Amino acid sequence: MKIAFTGGGTGGHFYPLIAVLEEVKNKAKEKGISDISFYFLSNTPYQKNTLDEYGVRFVRIPAGKIRTYFSIKNFLDFFVIGWGSLIALIKLLIIYPDVIFGKGGYASFPTLLAARILAIPVIIHDSDTVPGRVNKWAGRFAKKIAISWEEATNYFPANKTAVTGQPIRSLLKKPISSGSFEYFSFNSGIPVITVLGGSQGAQRINDFILDILPELVKKYQIIHQTGEADFNNVTMRAKVIFQKQDGIERYRPFVFFTAEELQRIAGITTLLVSRAGSGILEFVEWKIPSILIPIPENISRDQQNNAYAFARRGAGIVIEENNLTSTIFLSEIERIIGDKKLYATMQESLSAMTSPNASNIIAQELIAIAESHYAR
C-alpha cells in the first residue's frame, strides 16, 4: 500500500499533513497493515528531518506560482508549472500511490494534475475560510473534501464535503508547564506573550514588536519567533535596545521552535500574537486567547477572512496593520489579560473550536480508499 501527500512549502500546509500522517500510521498499525509506504511530493521538503523521522520519502516536484498581480515571474513560472506537471506525471507513474492527500498551495498543483490524469484517488483538506485556487479546482474531482471552517462549505460540492476541523499534531495537545518558566529563564509570576511570525516570519510584526519592546518588557515576558530571514536583524536591534535599559532577561527571540519548545510555550503562554494564516487553528488546542494581525487584504484576503472568522467566534481580537499602533496594541493586551471574565470567555470560545477528531476522520478515509485501490 502506498499513500502520498502533497502541499505547499509553508507550515500551514506541512504540519496538518504531519498530523494526518501520524494518525494514518496509528490506524495502519491497529489494522495490522505493515506493507505501507509514504511519500511527500512538493518543491521543497520543508522539514526533511521530520519526514525522515516518520519514514516519508521526499519526491521533488518543480512548482511555479501564478500570482494575482502582474509580475514577470508569472510568465516564467508558467513554464515551471508545465515542467513540474510532466515530472509529477512520470514520478506518479513510477510510484503509483493508492491515494493522495492534498493540502493545497501552488506546490501541490503538478501532483494533483498528474493524479487526475492517472485516475489516482485524491482527498483534499483546506484550512482557510476561503479556499485557495488549487483546492477549489481539485475539489471538482477529489473523492472527499475536508475543511476546517464551516464558511468554506459554499465552495465545494456538498455531497462529498465535511467540516472536520483542523488536523493537529499530537505534540501540540501535550503542553508542558512543569519547569517551562525555568527552561526560558523566566519569572513564573509575570505573564508571557508569545509572538508567532509564522514559518516564514513576519518582518512588519518583528519591527513593530522591537519598536515597543521597552514598554512590553515592563509588564510582560516575550517569546518572539522571528523567522530565519529576520533573526539576525532582530537580535542585533534587541541588543541595542537593552544596552540603554534593563529587561533583556524578559525577552527571548527564536528562529523557529522545536517540538519541546512548542510544548513548553503552550504550558506558560498567557497571550498569543500572530498573523492569521491557517496555522492559527493549530494553536486553538492550547486555549490561549490571541491578538491576530492579518496580512493586508490587498496581499492576502485569506488572512483577513480567517482573522475575522476567528474573532466572530470570540476566540481572539483583530488589529489590522493600518491600525497597528503602540497605544491600541498595548491597551488590547491589558484588556485581555487584565479582564479575567473576558479571558475566561475567550478560552471557552476556543474550547468550542477544538477539533480532536479531524486527523482521525481524514486518516480513516485515506486508509479506506487506499485499501480499496490496493485490492484491485
- Using CA atoms, how far apart are residues 92 and 189, in angstroms rounded to an integer? 55
CATH 3.40.50.2000 residue window(s) in the chain: 2-167+356-374, 172-353
pLDDT, tens digit (0-9, with 9 covering 90-100), for 205-220: 999 999 999 999 999 9
- Return the CA Rg of the chain: 21
Of the candidates 310, 298, 296, 283, the residue with the CA atom closest to the CA atom of residue 128: 310
Of the candidates 317, 349, 309, the residue with the CA atom closest to the CA atom of residue 335: 317
3-state secondary structure at position 326 = helix
Q: Which residues pair with 99 in a beta bridge?
A: 3
For residue 53, name the pLDDT band (cuts at 50, 70, 90).
very high
What is the rounded average pLDDT for all residues in the chain?
91
Report CA torsion sign: 319, 320, 321, 322.
negative
**Residues in Cβ contact with 372 at an 8 Å cutoff, skipping those fewer than 6 apart:** none
- Which one is predicted more confidently, 4 or 303? 4
For residue 191, name the pLDDT band (cuts at 50, 70, 90).
very high
Mean pLDDT for 312-334 is 95
DSSP-assigned letters across all residues of 307-320: HHHHHHTTSEEE--
Q: Is the pLDDT of residue 11 over 90?
A: no
Of the candidates 203, 115, 129, the residue with the CA atom closest to the CA atom of residue 166: 129
Biggest CA–CA distance in the chain, Å, is 71
Q: Decide: pTM greater than 0.85.
A: yes
Q: Could you tell me the fold of the domain covering 172-353?
A: Rossmann fold (3.40.50)
Lowest mean pLDDT among 131-140, 163-172, 327-336, 367-376: 367-376
Contacts 24+ apart (CB under 8 A), 229-238: 229/200, 229/201, 229/203, 230/197, 230/201, 230/203, 230/206, 231/201, 231/255, 233/206, 234/206, 234/210, 237/210, 238/210, 238/213
DSSP-assigned letter for residue 287: T
pLDDT at position 223 = 97
Domain over 2-167+356-374 is classified CATH 3.40.50.2000: yes
DSSP-assigned letters across all residues of 204-263: HHHHHHHHHHHHHHHH-EEEEE--TTTHHHHHHHHHHHHHHSS-GGGEEEESS--HHHHH
Cell of 122: 485524491
pLDDT, tens digit (0-9, with 9 covering 90-100), for 68-119: 555 556 556 667 888 899 999 999 999 999 999 999 988 999 999 999 999 9
pLDDT, tens digit (0-9, with 9 covering 90-100), for 130-186: 998 999 999 999 999 999 999 999 999 999 999 999 999 998 889 999 999 999 999
Mean pLDDT for 306-319 is 94
For residue 12, name the pLDDT band (cuts at 50, 70, 90).
confident
